[in-house]
């Protein structure tokens, strides 16, 4: 059995449905950029297409996808895209109401147009935008020139006026379903659709009018009448000349509106002689600038390999690029091991750095591994089923696996360690985790899947191109799956080599080896431990929240006087704004928003009880959903085994799923009631919780080295009271609760890049008061002001921020011309070093606590890490020592100028252990 090397791309199939006579002609593809981008913008849901910086990308993705598909299907030799510059064109000069009914361009769309242009530049595509003219005038000019020069022309546009350009050698590809389906309009298709020739189409359009362009039609005259007149008289000019012959009311309406119709005809005609800086012959397709395009794809977070493959497959220079093949060694030496042969293979290759790939399953705190593949960097690879290992095989494998001197490369090592432990295997010597390495190299990316990384960094598909099949050992009939797993193991070890170099370039080798890899090993154990759950308590809470939801529904129905669906935005809009006549909220595509912010605003604007009821209904429904999720994740052992994620938050913070423990509120009675459902397990004495007090503010004080803020921390007094006394220039005992609230909000807000306007919104005060509050703060703590300014400016120069441990966050939008994207990146530049440093310190603290507990032979163990809090399960008789260990190790985890302060509590459940 052999794993084959990937082949170079073959020629694309011949285009389908080519226009007649185009076989030997050069083919020019012209695209109406704004038209197609708009279609993509409204065809793809914006909530599914945005970057971690908040940049919406649905128009960019849809446009690029459509372009890639069209290039694949039509194989043009020449290509150009035309864009509108603005609405100030010659048509507007002639008719000031032209397109006046169109709504303002959404900011979310406007910000994407230039990015589409930058993508086209990276794809070496010529783009046109001419002052005073629309994109369709540019297209008409190029199409006319190209046909005269012997080209076949294809025009992709959502503007039906382009049908006037259709000839034997000019075809319009009109989107009929979003941007995914294109209908070919040849002369025959235009006549079939309208009963007119393409040359007659602008005559017809002038009579019909165009609401989208605000071109008025003739009262009582629709498409059928307009087409009949053009057919009857032959042309618009002839119809005008003989207008008195048109009978009936429609004829009179035509005569009454003749001047408007003549204007329509002038505006509908496309200009065919726009002065351009290029002619069709100049628009030949050229190889992509792949380096730039790669960067743009990363910045826009387009990670799906199929999408990238389609874009790159259309590269005219693709035939010059041969993807790196899978090493022939895998093809020659990859095989399934027979029972009893694993010790010998490990004797020969076990000292090499081996890539490990598995097929495994994990659910509700239990898992199994069904297949394992190992691969060397220089060729040999093996596959085996652990269920069919002989005793000597398993002993040799377990010994190699646990040996810290035998280097292993894994992808998502935490998951491997977690499931291997179910088989009694200990993992040591993980030299590289390719998922964690990719995360440290580019923390903002969306996908860390092995297949995505293989395509991006190794330039090859993850699976063998042509896997042979054959009889394998252990009763496996098909060899293709084993082939795939060995190819994965080989990709892992090759990526490990590639990432070793890249980690050095970004200064993250120590961060991986000293922090992230040890943390993954600890998290694997924590996931297996889980935390005991009081199922009866959780079920009683679920019933309580369900009752509260139903009560809110009944109250809402009484408040309105009839039943309605509280979960239907359409019905809510009808009730709020039509029936009750409440003030209108923010306008959306489907009406007026009824989201939480809108409900809170309505509650303050009106005395009607419905907004308050709706807010309570949604909160109780959310709590019920949270508890239902927890109940579903209680494993047969009575414990909840969450999964911790190391590669989700770009700042380095951990998150959790199945269940998401960060979803549980901590400052409400309901949230605290939910935490009571997490209890100490059998054989243990209590739960112990420990968290850092104001760690992010202490990091900010350390980074800014502001003496006043550091002194406020070291005084031992309440931080916000101490700072408040200085900002408001009053005695400490004169700082009231409202002053303290404002200072607390501002202190934390500064660490998150909060503006004066944002502070005013958060505190419910005027912008001037908020601005004055910030100025007073900076006057007292100038070091903070200087640091925040310096952090952004340094990041603007380098392109990234760094934590205390050197964790980088890349922020290319800091130099963006788009104000929204630039300001979002500036806020991230302020927050990433602070939040990221705090996250690094928490990981170090966890590791030190675990090492100390293990070193002293204590049975107590770490179970959870949520935000800045660590939850441990304390064995009988160990509480005093565990508390001492935790306090010592956490308080000395990192030497901040504003010393770390740790709060500790213990109890029978998570809530009673709070402090």
Instruction: Name the stretches of the chain with pLDDT < 50.
Output: 1-22, 319-332, 465-478
Distances (CA, A) of 93 to 214, 217, 436, 451: 14, 20, 59, 54
CATH class of 328-505: alpha beta
Residues 840 and 695: beta-carbon distance below 8 Å: no
pLDDT digits (tens, 9 = 90+) for 380-423: 889 999 988 899 999 999 999 999 999 999 999 999 999 999 99
Q: Which tokens sit at 314?
A: 């259309």
pLDDT of residue 1: 33
The residue to which tokens 């060397």 are assigned: 376
CA distance 64 to 130: 22
DSSP state, residue 149: T
- What is the SS3 assignment for 769? helix
Pairing of strands 354-363, 408-410: parallel
Q: Is 567 exposed, middle or buried (0-12, 13-18, 19+ CB in 10 A)?
A: exposed
pLDDT of residue 730: 87
> CATH topology for 27-196+273-283?
Rossmann fold (3.40.50)
Instruction: Please tell me whether the peptide bond between 482 and the residue prior to it is cis, using omega within 30 degrees of 0.
Output: no
Residue 877: CA count within 13 A, CB half-sphere: 3
Q: Which tokens sit at 211?
A: 């609401």
Which are the contacts of 605, defined by CB distance < 8 A and separation ≥ 6? Answer: 582, 583
Q: Which tokens sit at 131?
A: 């002052």
pLDDT of residue 277: 87
Q: Quick one: CATH architecture of 696-836?
A: Orthogonal Bundle (1.10)
CA distance 488 to 375: 9
Residues 272 and 146: beta-carbon distance below 8 Å: no
Packing angle between helix 879-891 and helix 819-855, nearest 10 degrees? 140
| Three-state DSSP string of 632-675 | HCECCCCEECCEEECCCCCCCCCEEECCCHHHCCCCCHHHHHHH
Residues 209 and 217: beta-carbon distance below 8 Å: yes
Residue 383: CA count within 13 A, CB half-sphere: 29
User: Phi and psi dihedrals of 828, rounded to 5?
Assistant: -65, -35
CA distance 906 to 386: 42
pLDDT of residue 477: 40
The domains of the chain are located at 27-196+273-283, 328-505, 540-640, 696-836
Beta-bridge mates of residue 177: 181
CB atoms within 10 A of CB 498: 16
pLDDT digits (tens, 9 = 90+) for 589-607: 667 888 888 888 888 888 8
CA distance 7 to 16: 25
Cα–Cα–Cα angle for 555, 560, 564, rounded to 5 degrees: 80
pLDDT of residue 104: 60
CATH of 540-640, one of 3.20.20.70, 1.20.1060.10, 3.30.420.40, 3.90.1150.10: 1.20.1060.10
Pairing of strands 430-433, 408-410: parallel
């Amino acid at each position: 059995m052999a794993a084959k090397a990937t082949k170079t791309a073959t020629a694309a199939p011949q285009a389908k449905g080519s226009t007649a006579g185009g076989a030997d002609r050069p083919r020019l593809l012209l695209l109406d950029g704004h038209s197609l981008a708009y279609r993509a913008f409204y065809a793809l849901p914006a909530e599914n297409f945005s970057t971690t910086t908040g940049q919406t990308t649905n128009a960019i993705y849809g446009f690029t996808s459509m372009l890639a598909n069209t290039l694949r299907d039509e194989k043009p030799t020449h290509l150009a895209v035309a864009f509108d510059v603005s609405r100030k064109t010659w048509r507007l000069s002639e008719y000031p109401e032209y397109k006046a009914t169109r709504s303002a361009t959404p900011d979310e769309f406007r910000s994407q147009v230039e990015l589409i242009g930058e993508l086209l530049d990276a794809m070496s595509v010529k783009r046109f935008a001419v002052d005073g003219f629309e994109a369709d005038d540019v297209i008409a000019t190029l199409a006319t020139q190209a046909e005269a020069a012997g080209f076949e022309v294809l025009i992709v546009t959502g503007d039906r006026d382009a049908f006037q350009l259709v000839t034997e050698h000019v075809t319009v590809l009109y989107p009929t379903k979003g941007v995914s389906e294109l209908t070919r309009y040849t002369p025959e298709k235009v006549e079939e659709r309208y009963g007119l020739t393409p040359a007659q189409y602008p005559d017809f359009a002038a009579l019909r009018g165009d609401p989208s362009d605000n071109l008025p039609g003739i009262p009582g005259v629709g498409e059928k009448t307009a087409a009949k007149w053009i057919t009857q008289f032959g042309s618009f000019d002839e119809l005008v000349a003989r207008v008195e012959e048109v009978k009936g009311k429609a004829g009179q309406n035509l005569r009454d509106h003749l001047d408007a119709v003549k204007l329509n005809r002038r505006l509908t005609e496309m200009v065919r002689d726009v002065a351009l800086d290029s002619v069709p012959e100049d628009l030949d397709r050229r190889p992509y600038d792949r380096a730039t395009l790669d960067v743009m794809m990363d910045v826009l977070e387009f990670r799906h390999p199929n999408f990238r493959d389609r874009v790159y497959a259309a590269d005219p220079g693709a035939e010059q690029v041969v993807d790196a093949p899978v090493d022939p060694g895998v093809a020659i030496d990859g095989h399934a091991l027979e029972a009893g042969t694993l010790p010998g293979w490990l004797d020969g290759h076990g000292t090499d750095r081996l890539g490990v790939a598995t097929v495994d399953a994990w659910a509700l705190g239990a898992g199994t591994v069904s297949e394992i593949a190992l691969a060397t960097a220089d060729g040999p690879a093996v596959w085996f089923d652990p269920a069919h290992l002989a005793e000597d095989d398993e002993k040799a494998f377990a010994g190699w696996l646990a040996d810290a001197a035998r280097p292993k490369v894994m992808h998502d090592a935490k998951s491997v360690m977690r499931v291997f432990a179910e088989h009694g295997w200990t993992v040591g010597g993980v030299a590289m985790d390719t998922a964690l390495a990719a995360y440290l190299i580019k923390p903002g990316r969306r996908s860390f899947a092995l297949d995505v990384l293989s395509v991006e960094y190794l330039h090859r598909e993850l699976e063998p191109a042509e896997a042979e099949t054959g009889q394998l050992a252990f009763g496996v009939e098909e060899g293709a799956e084993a082939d795939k797993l060995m190819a994965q193991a080989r990709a892992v070890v090759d990526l490990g080599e590639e990432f070793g170099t890249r980690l050095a370039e970004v200064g993250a080798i120590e961060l991986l080896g000293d922090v992230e890899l040890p943390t993954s090993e600890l998290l694997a154990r924590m996931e297996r431990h889980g935390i005991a759950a009081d199922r009866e308590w959780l079920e009683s809470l679920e019933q309580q929240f369900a009752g509260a939801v139903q009560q809110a529904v009944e109250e809402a129905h009484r408040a309105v006087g009839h039943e309605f669906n509280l979960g239907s935005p359409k019905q809510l809009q009808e009730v709020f704004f039509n029936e009750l006549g409440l003030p209108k909220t923010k306008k959306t595509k489907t009406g007026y928003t009824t989201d939480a912010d809108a409900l809170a605003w309505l509650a303050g604007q009106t005395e009607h009880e419905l907004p308050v009821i709706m807010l309570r209904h949604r909160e109780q429904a959310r709590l019920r959903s949270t508890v239902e999720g927890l109940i579903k994740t209680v494993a047969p052992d009575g414990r909840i085994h969450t999964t911790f994620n190391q590669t989700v938050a770009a700042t380095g913070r951990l998150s959790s799923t199945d269940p998401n423990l960060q979803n549980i509120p901590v400052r409400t009675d309901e949230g605290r009631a939910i935490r009571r459902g997490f209890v100490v397990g059998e054989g243990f004495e209590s739960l112990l919780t420990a968290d850092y007090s104001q760690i992010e503010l202490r990091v900010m004080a350390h980074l800014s080295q502001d003496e006043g803020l550091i002194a406020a921390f070291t005084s031992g007094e309440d931080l916000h009271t101490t700072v408040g006394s200085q900002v408001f220039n009053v005695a400490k005992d004169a700082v009231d609760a409202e002053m303290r609230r404002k200072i607390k909000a501002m202190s934390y807000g500064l660490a998150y890049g909060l503006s004066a306007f944002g502070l005013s919104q958060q505190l419910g005060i005027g912008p001037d008061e908020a601005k004055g509050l910030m100025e007073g703060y900076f006057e007292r703590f100038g070091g903070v002001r200087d640091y925040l300014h310096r952090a952004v400016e340094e990041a603007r120069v380098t392109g990234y921020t760094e934590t205390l441990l050197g964790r980088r966050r890349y922020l290319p939008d800091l130099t963006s011309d788009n104000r929204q994207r630039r300001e979002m990146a500036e806020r991230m530049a302020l927050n990433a070093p602070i939040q990221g440093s705090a996250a690094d310190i928490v990981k170090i603290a966890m590791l030190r606590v675990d090492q100390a507990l293990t070193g002293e032979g204590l049975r107590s163990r770490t179970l959870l890490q949520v935000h800045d809090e660590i939850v441990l399960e304390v064995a009988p008789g160990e509480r005093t020592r565990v508390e001492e260990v935790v306090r010592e190790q956490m308080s000395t985890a990192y030497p901040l100028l504003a010393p770390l302060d740790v709060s500790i509590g213990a109890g029978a459940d998570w809530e009673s252990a709070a402090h």
